[in-house]
């Protein structure tokens, strides 16, 4: 049998087992992160919520991310013991959330204009 990665013997097996452990650890982290996520598209939700309530929840989440980024940025600027990586990640997360919200708004406005221009 050929060796994995060009390394034969126990070193190859140890390396494979270490990679397997890393994959399992990341898989468990993903499962924990998605445990509270919404149901996938095409599957009915266990409880019905209105579109307005869902939209409000998403907007509150984006607002929370922006508030967190602002708070971390202010703390860093004041010289508090805040990791710059956390500040940059929070700011990037808030930026991406805002951009996604803006794109959804644009699509909703476009759909509204298309519907309103339909002949009756």
Q: CB atoms < 10 A from the CB of 21, how many?
A: 10
**Cα–chain-centroid distance for residue 17?**
29
10-66 pLDDT, tens digit per residue, is 557 788 888 888 888 888 888 887 775 555 545 555 567 888 898 899 999 999 999
DSSP notation for 62-83: HHHHHHHHHHHHHHHHTT-S--
DSSP notation for 91-112: HHHHHHHHHHHHHHHHHHHHHH
Q: Among residues of the chain, what percentage have pLDDT more than 70?
A: 81
- What is the reported pTM? 0.55
User: Among the ranges 3-12, 48-57, 98-107, which has the highest mean pLDDT value?
Assistant: 98-107
């Amino acid at each position: 049998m050929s060796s994995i990665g060009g390394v034969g013997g126990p070193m190859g097996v140890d390396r494979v087992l270490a990679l397997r452990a890393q994959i399992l650890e990341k898989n468990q982290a993903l499962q924990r992160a998605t445990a509270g996520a919404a149901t996938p598209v095409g599957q009915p939700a266990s409880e019905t919520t209105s579109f307005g309530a869902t939209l409000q929840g998403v907007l509150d989440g984006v607002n929370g991310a922006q508030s967190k980024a602002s708070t971390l940025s202010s703390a860093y600027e004041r010289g508090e013991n805040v990791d710059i990586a956390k500040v940059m990640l929070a700011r990037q997360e808030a930026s991406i959330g805002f951009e996604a919200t803006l794109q959804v708004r644009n699509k909703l406005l476009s759909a509204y204009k298309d519907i309103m221009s339909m002949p009756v």
